[in-house]
Amino acid sequence: MKVKVINKSKHALPNYETIASAGMDLRANIEESIILKPLERAIVKTGLFMELPVGFEAQVRPRSGLAAKKGITVLNSPGTIDADYRGEIGVILVNLSNKEFEIQDGERVAQMVVAKHEQIQWEESVELESSDRGAGGFGSTGV
């Protein structure tokens, strides 16, 4: 599938690192580095604009290495980019560590996964079919 993209960044377009990769790394496109203090958040611009086909979304997700090693994650994970959005892709990062973190231009700050989705139509009802799980939630199927 081809997706139209405008790249106003100083960096190459995101790409899949391996043949089996689901996500592409998004890079910070910033003039000056950003210092994220503990529990602070910032929107990091990428310089990318795209036109997804209707029926698709792009999900912005944390990079596992940044999350595990530095405590940096995507605040609204996954962030959703709808097919009708034409603005610049931004990543809401939050520092969940107890140390400052410096975001530099070109740094890989998140990953983006493009996924197909469906829209539903509600069918109002007075009852739902039963299931083995029923109304059990939040740990009802185990630890």
CA 63 to chain centre: 9
pTM, two decimals, is 0.89
pLDDT greater than 70 at residue 142: no
DSSP 77-91: SSEEE-TT--S--EE
What is the reported pLDDT for 80?
97
Render pLDDT for 10-67 as a digit per residue (tens, 0 to 9).
999 999 999 999 999 999 999 999 999 999 999 999 999 999 999 999 999 999 999 9
In the CATH scheme, what is the homologous superfamily, with its name and number, of domain 4-116? Deoxyuridine triphosphatase (dUTPase) (2.70.40.10)
Going from N- to C-terminal start, the domains of the chain cover 4-116
Render pLDDT for 87-121 as a digit per residue (tens, 0 to 9).
999 999 999 999 999 999 999 999 999 999 999 99
140: left (phi over 0), alpha (psi -120 to 50) or beta: alpha
Residue 27: what are its φ and ψ, rounded to 5°?
A: -110, 145
What is the reported pLDDT for 138?
79
